[in-house]
């Protein structure tokens, strides 16, 4: 029998330790300073009582540690070797993954649309990036899919590559052919790291056309569960899928460099309970998926807007022909109390989450219908027709780590960038340390 058949995915080792501790009503002669007592009228004492540090029961060593046990249950649930809980968001997992690549070499293929935390990881790790250009869709002002053929060309030009880092799905819901990309990487004995921050839900969807990078050949997959699964903000998971290139200890020691020694028990508990929820409600995404599909169909006939044809059913990217995405977002919030995920000059992005209901869908559809029916101004501040600058242009003059460090001393005299500039969202870098100044 495999672990999927024998593991009880509803077990909660972290919660069990917390409940045991609270049941004893101990005198708290330890940090945190609040001692289980709220200091405001917003958060109840119950939350503070759960916000503890390393206490009796939690300090067990090795495989008896409740955090380790909980992570192993989650790993079995997703079918991976180990699932590291992250209380510093997916960013911590990406940083650690870049550091761990030093085990293999000093040069890494990096997709141009990676999150700024990957660029930060280059600075911390000292790795030398080889940039994989990603097609930039000027019509929508967003990055598209990673091209396996472009990846092959890069690999054939280098013989010292430590790994490859890509993003799938993208912030706007574009999904690359991870299966083919992993096949390419492994053909040349290169590990594949996938930033799946926005795709933790993919392996839980009952959709034969969508799947997680976990099941498509990636070696490490980093997910932001608060973005795409429902845990509390700043919680994520790093999945070690294969041990061909990395061991548990490789990633554990790398995570220790970038993670807090006082992880939030509220965030750890949130991750554990999120896994428990989906273990108990395996079909919970079905209704949401159908509602999302219905919502998108309801938007399609509306005049003066277009919908991006993406793969992620929970990302809805809309272009309004009379107003910029920014103007549209402002109107939707101020007039209709609809808060979108983000906007740029071209379009606006809406994310469908667990709180989305039929009533929510009807409200948004009515709001968009009403907004587009407004007569556009004769002279508009809208930039709906503008094209964003293609951010693929890179001309590296220095290693990112060296460039960043030199920025402390003589930044103005240098001919290359020293800082990471990456507006969030979506978080891809406009300036990269070491890149030639424009």
Q: Mean pLDDT lowest for which of 115-124, 207-216, 264-273, 334-343?
A: 207-216
H or E element at residue 109 = strand 107-111
Residue 56, pLDDT score: 66
Chain position carrying tokens 């609809």:
338
Asked if pLDDT for residue 389 goes beyond 80, the answer is no
For residues 399 and 394, give the distance between their C-alpha atoms in angstroms, rounded to a whole number: 13
Of residues 387 and 227, which shows the higher confidence score? 227
Phi, psi of 241 (to 5 degrees): -85, -45
**Per residue in 85-144, pLDDT tens?**
999 999 999 999 999 999 999 999 999 999 999 999 999 999 999 999 999 998 998 999
CB 230 within 8 Å of CB 190: no
H or E element at residue 187 = helix 178-187
Picking from 168, 130, 127, the residue whose alpha carbon sits closest to that of residue 146 is: 168
CB 342 within 8 Å of CB 406: no
For residues 227 and 233, give the distance between their C-alpha atoms in angstroms, rounded to a whole number: 8
Q: DSSP string spanning 262-281?
A: S--HHHHHHHHHHHHHHHH-
Residue 284, pLDDT score: 86
Read off the pLDDT of each residue in 361-375 and give the average, rounded to a whole number: 92
pLDDT band at 376 (very low <50, low <70, confident <90, very high): low
Average pLDDT, the chain: 91
Q: Under DSSP, is residue 18 helix (H, G, I), strand (E, B) or coil? A: helix
Q: DSSP string spanning 378-405?
A: SS----TT--PPPTT---B-S-HHHHHH
CB 217 within 8 Å of CB 183: yes
Domains in the chain and their CATH numbers? 1-79+261-282 (no CATH), 88-259+399-438 (3.40.640.10), 285-373 (3.90.1150.10)
| Number of neighbouring beta carbons within 10 Å of residue 356 | 17
H or E element at residue 240 = strand 236-240
Residue 362, pLDDT score: 97
Spell out the residues 6+ positions from residue 390 whose beta carbon is closer than 8 angstroms to its own: 136, 138
Residue 386, pLDDT score: 37
Asked if pLDDT for residue 385 goes beyond 80, the answer is no
Q: Mean pLDDT lowest for which of 177-186, 295-304, 412-421?
A: 412-421
Residue 131: burial class (beta carbons within 10 Å; 0-12, 13-18, 19+): middle
| Number of neighbouring beta carbons within 10 Å of residue 201 | 26
CB 65 within 8 Å of CB 161: no
Give 6's DSSP letter: H
Distance of CA 76 to the CA centre of its chain: 21
What is the chain's Cα-based Rg? 23
Of residues 207 and 409, which shows the higher confidence score? 409
Give me the residues paired with residue 223 across strands: 237
Q: Name the H helices within 188-247.
A: 225-228
**Per residue in 30-87, pLDDT tens?**
889 999 999 999 999 999 999 987 766 666 667 889 999 999 999 999 999 999 999 9
Residue 2, pLDDT score: 58
For residues 61 and 72, give the distance between their C-alpha atoms in angstroms, rounded to a whole number: 15
**Per residue in 265-284, pLDDT tens?**
999 999 999 999 999 998 88
Compute the C-alpha angle 101/202/1, nearest 5°.
80
Compute the C-alpha angle 80/255/396, nearest 5°.
105
Of residues 377 and 252, which shows the higher confidence score? 252
């Amino acid at each position: 029998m495999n672990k999927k058949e024998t593991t009880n995915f509803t077990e909660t080792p972290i919660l069990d330790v917390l409940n045991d501790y609270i049941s004893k009503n101990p005198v708290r002669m330890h940090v945190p300073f609040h001692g289980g007592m709220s200091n405001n009228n917003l958060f109840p004492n119950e939350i503070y009582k759960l916000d503890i540090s390393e206490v009796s029961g939690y300090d067990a060593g090795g495989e008896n540690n409740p955090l380790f046990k909980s992570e192993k249950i989650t790993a079995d649930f997703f079918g991976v070797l180990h699932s590291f809980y992250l209380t510093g968001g997916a960013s911590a997992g990406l940083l650690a993954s870049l550091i761990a690549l030093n085990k293999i070499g000093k040069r890494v293929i990096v997709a141009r649309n990676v999150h700024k935390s990957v660029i930060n990881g280059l600075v911390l790790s000292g790795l030398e990036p080889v940039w994989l250009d990603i097609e930039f869709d000027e019509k929508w002002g967003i990055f598209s899919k990673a091209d396996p053929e472009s990846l092959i060309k890069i690999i054939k030009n280098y013989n010292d590559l430590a790994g490859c880092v890509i993003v799938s799905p993208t912030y706007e819901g574009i999904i690359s052919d991870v299966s083919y990309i992993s096949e390419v990487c492994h053909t040349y004995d290169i590990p594949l790291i996938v930033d799946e921050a926005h795709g933790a839900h993919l392996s839980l969807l009952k959709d034969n056309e969508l799947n997680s990078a976990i099941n498509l050949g990636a070696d490490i997959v980093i997910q932001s569960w608060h973005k795409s699964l429902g845990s509390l903000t700043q919680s994520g998971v790093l999945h070690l899928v294969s041990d061909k290139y990395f061991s548990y200890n490789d990633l554990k020691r790398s995570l220790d460099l970038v993670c807090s020694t006082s992880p939030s028990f509220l965030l750890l508990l949130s991750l554990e309970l999120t896994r428990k929820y989906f273990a108990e409600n395996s079909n919970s995404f079905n209704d949401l998926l159908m509602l999302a599909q219905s919502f998108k169909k309801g938007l399609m006939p509306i005049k003066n807007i277009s919908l991006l044809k993406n793969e992620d059913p929970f990302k809805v990217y809309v272009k309004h022909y009379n107003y910029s995405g920014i103007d549209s977002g402002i109107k939707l919030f101020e007039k209709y109390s609809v808060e979108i995920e983000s906007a740029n000059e071209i379009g606006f992005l809406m994310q469908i989450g667990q709180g989305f209901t039929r009533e929510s869908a009807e409200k948004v559809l009515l709001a968009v219908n009403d907004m587009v029916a407004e007569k556009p101004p004769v002279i508009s501040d809208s930039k709906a027709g503008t094209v964003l600058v293609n951010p693929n242009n890179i001309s590296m003059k220095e290693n990112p780590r060296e460039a960043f460090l030199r920025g402390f001393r003589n930044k103005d005299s240098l001919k290359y960038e020293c800082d990471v500039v990456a507006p969030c969202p979506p978080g891809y870098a406009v300036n990269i340390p070491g890149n030639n100044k424009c």
